[in-house]
């Protein structure tokens, strides 16, 4: 199990990014959450097996059709046993 915290920059609010993120995470079996931040970015925490988390991170770099991701910051964290995927 691995856990990653990402900050996604670009046009990522108001384009269905968090909802699409949740659907993709559930499809891949990745747990965690996604939340809009006041600075216009989206913060995402991912937890799961390395393969699905890596695939999810690649998706976050593209996002849904109307998003325009310009940069993604990635940090490593200790897994906490997250269950499900939420949006805030």
Q: Please give the positions annotated as active site.
A: 18, 36
Cα dihedral across residues 6, 46, 54, 64: positive or negative: negative
Residue 73's Cβ-side half-sphere holds a number of Cα atoms within 13 Å equal to: 7
Closest CA to 44 of 23, 64, 74: 74
Report CA dihedral (78, 49, 22, 20) to the nearest 10 degrees: 120
């Amino acid at each position: 199990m691995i856990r990653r915290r990402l900050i996604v920059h670009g046009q990522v609010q108001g384009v269905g990014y968090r909802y699409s993120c949740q659907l993709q995470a559930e499809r891949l079996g990745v747990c965690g959450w996604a939340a809009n931040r006041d600075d216009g970015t989206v913060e995402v925490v991912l937890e799961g097996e390395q393969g699905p988390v890596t695939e999810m991170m690649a998706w976050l770099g593209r996002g849904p059709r109307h998003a325009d991701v310009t940069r993604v910051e990635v940090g490593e964290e200790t897994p906490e046993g997250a269950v499900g995927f939420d949006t805030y």
